Amino acid sequence: MSTNDPGPKHVPVMLQRCMDALAPAISRPGAVVVDATLGLGGHSEALLTQFPDVRLVAVDRDPAALKLSGERLARFGDRATLVHAVYDEIPEVLERLDIPKVDGILFDLGVSSMQLDEADRGFAYAQDAPLDMRMDQTRGISAAEVLNTYSHGQLARILKVYGEERFAGKIASVILREREKEPFTNSARLVDLVRNAIPAATRRTGGNPAKRTFQALRIEVNGELEVLDRAIPGALDVLTLGGRIVVMSYQSLEDRLVKQYLVAGATSTAPPGLPFVPEEHQPWLKLITRGAEQATEEEIEENRRAAPVRLRVAERIRDRSTRG
């Protein structure tokens, strides 16, 4: 997502690809676009600049991001409305703003670059910091609380499911043993613990062995998959006919969930063999991307955080009101 520098060097992930994907839906006068993951406002700034007639509604759960992006987008005046909310709350946000439907929605999932780059947030395993990991530090439990209070079964489950960690049970056992000696507070100790818990042969490949554990904790602390599971259908419900949704996922669990919703909407629900497909069984989404698109070498060169991205785009082509 966006970087810490809002100046000329700031390159949001796959920026122009996202603009081009949304363009057919938001180039019309009076179009409304939602930036579901505002961050530092890089994508939002491009939307407001490249589409001078568009109205933007941008949400973020992180008050620090809202403050910084608010300064960045101030010059656009009332064309930009910034709201402190989680992206599964978009339908409610739009209802409060008296906006029944929108023409485009952009999701740039995962942790923002600002959160990664600020050491004291505890998201990055490369630097020692308090184990917080909350995207909104005004609510919820921290990663340290998860490590210090969850049972062995709970820890093993989130490491296995959210981190896709092969050694989840072993790491959970070590966490329980070590927290008896001293509660977890900082990331460096956890990084060392995970590294020592994983067999040496496994440590030699795949980057930092703590990566999967940190991902799992972050997803658990912020309820990311549960939120996303509500957010995608909610976003599709507020998309107008001809409107487009653009989603960038950074790990397979997110992408799988997004794919399920978009493919389901683009698939007929009619029993096979019917001579014609009744309206209520016809697809109501059209997939614009074939599968998930990845960043080009040039896009990765511009922003290395684009490397793992999977981009999916769909367009609403039919009303769902007649579907059962």
Q: What is the pLDDT of residues 16-48, one digit of tens each?
A: 999 999 999 999 999 999 999 999 899 999 999
Instruction: Give residue-wise pLDDT tens across range 156-208.
Output: 999 999 999 999 999 999 999 999 999 999 999 999 999 899 887 777 666 77
The pTM of the full predicted model, rounded to 2 decimals, is 0.87
The reply, when asked if residue 42 is annotated as ligand binding, is yes
Q: Domains plus CATH for the chain?
A: 1-24+38-48+99-103+240-324 (no CATH), 115-222 (1.10.150.170)
As a whole number of angstroms, the distance between CA 274 and CA 252 comes to: 35
The reply, when asked if residue 128 is annotated as ligand binding, is no
Residue in 162, 188, 45, 165 with CA at minimum distance from that of residue 110 = 162
Mean pLDDT computed over every residue of the chain:
88
Cα dihedral 213, 214, 215, 221, rounded to 10, equals 110
Out of 113-122, 192-201, 212-221, 264-273, pick the least confident. Answer: 113-122
Is the pLDDT reported for residue 4 higher than 60? no
User: Contact, 62 vs 135, CB < 8 A?
Assistant: yes
Determine the 3-state secondary structure of 307 from DSSP: coil
The reply, when asked if residue 108 is annotated as ligand binding, is yes
The reply, when asked if residue 43 is annotated as ligand binding, is yes
Instruction: Give residue-wise pLDDT tens across range 264-317.
Output: 999 988 888 778 878 888 899 999 999 999 999 999 988 888 899 999 999 999
The reply, when asked if residue 77 is annotated as ligand binding, is no
The reply, when asked if residue 115 is annotated as ligand binding, is yes
- By residue count, the chain amounts to 324
